[in-house]
Structure 1
C-alpha cells in the first residue's frame, strides 16, 4: 500500500503570501437563518494591517448579512487544488461613496487590480452611481493546509 502525503499546516507567513498571491476568493457571510452565504469576490490583502478589502454595491445580500452579523471568512485556493488559506474575522461595511474622489472612492480605487482606469475621474463617478461600498474584513485568524501531492 502506497503511503499518501499528510496535509501540512501552513505558517502565518505562508498563509499571508498565499492570500497576497491571489486576487479571487470565496467570501462566506452568515444568513439570517444561520446558513452560510458564499460568493466569489475580487479582493485586496493588506498583510501589515491584516485587512482584506472588497468592493461591492450597497444593495447586495452580503452587505445586509454583514451589517447584521459581521462574522465572515474568505477562502482562497492556492496555486493548486491541494492548498488553501482561510482568513476569518469581523467585517465592517463603509457607507457608499457619495462624491467622486471621496475617501471611500479612493479606497475603492486602491482595490482594483494594479492597472489604473484610463479615466480615473469617470471611474470614480461610476463608483458613486453604483453606490459602491468597501467591505473590510479584519482578520483575526488565518489557517490553511497544503498537501504535497506529487502524483
Structure 2
C-alpha cells in the first residue's frame, strides 16, 4: 500500500493568510473537568496585532470557561479538507456593552465587515446592549498547521 505524500508544514505567513481568508473556526476552551469545550465561531483576524476577535453573549459557557482559564485555541480548516491552521493563546473577555455606542459596542461594530454594516448603526448598538454582547480577544502566541498536497 502506497504511503502517499507527507503533510507540508505551513509557514507563519501562510497560516496567517489562511486565518485571514476564512470566517469560521472551532474555538476550544477548557471545561473545569479538563475536557475541551468546542464551538463553531465566526471570527475576525488581525494579522498585525495577532489577535482573533469573537462576538458572543455574556451568558455563554465559553465566556465562563475563559474567565476561569484563559487558555484557548481556534482550529480553522483551509480551502480543502487537507489543510488547517491552529491558533493558540490566551483570551480575555471584555466587559458587557451596557450603553449603545460605548467602547465595547464600537469594537463589536468594527468587527462587522464593511459590506455587511447595518444601515441603522444606533439600532444595532442598542441590540448589542440588549443581547449583553462581549468581545473575546484571543492573543495568538502560537500558530501551526499543515497542508497535504494531493492531486485530484
Q: Same fold (TM over 0.5)?
A: yes
Number of equivalences = 151
SS in 2 for 1:48: coil
Separation in 2, partners of 1:76, 1:118: 30
Aligned position for 2:24: 24
Aligned position for 2:134: 133
Separation in 2, partners of 1:110, 1:70: 23
Which ranges of structure 1 fall in alignment gaps of 5 or more residues? none
Aligned position for 2:144: 143
TM, length-normalised to structure 2: 0.97
TM, length-normalised to structure 1: 0.97
Residue 18 (structure 1) shift: 0.2
Asked whether 1:51 is paired with 2:51, we answer yes
Aligned 1:1-151 pairs, distance under 5 A: 1-114=1-114, 115-151=116-152
RMSD, aligned α-carbons: 0.9
Does 56-65 or 115-124 show the bigger shift? 115-124
Residue 111 (structure 1) shift: 1.5
Separation in 2, partners of 1:124, 1:32: 33
4+ aligned runs moved over 3 Å, structure 1: none
Does 22-31 or 114-123 show the bigger shift? 114-123
Residue 3 (structure 1) shift: 4.7
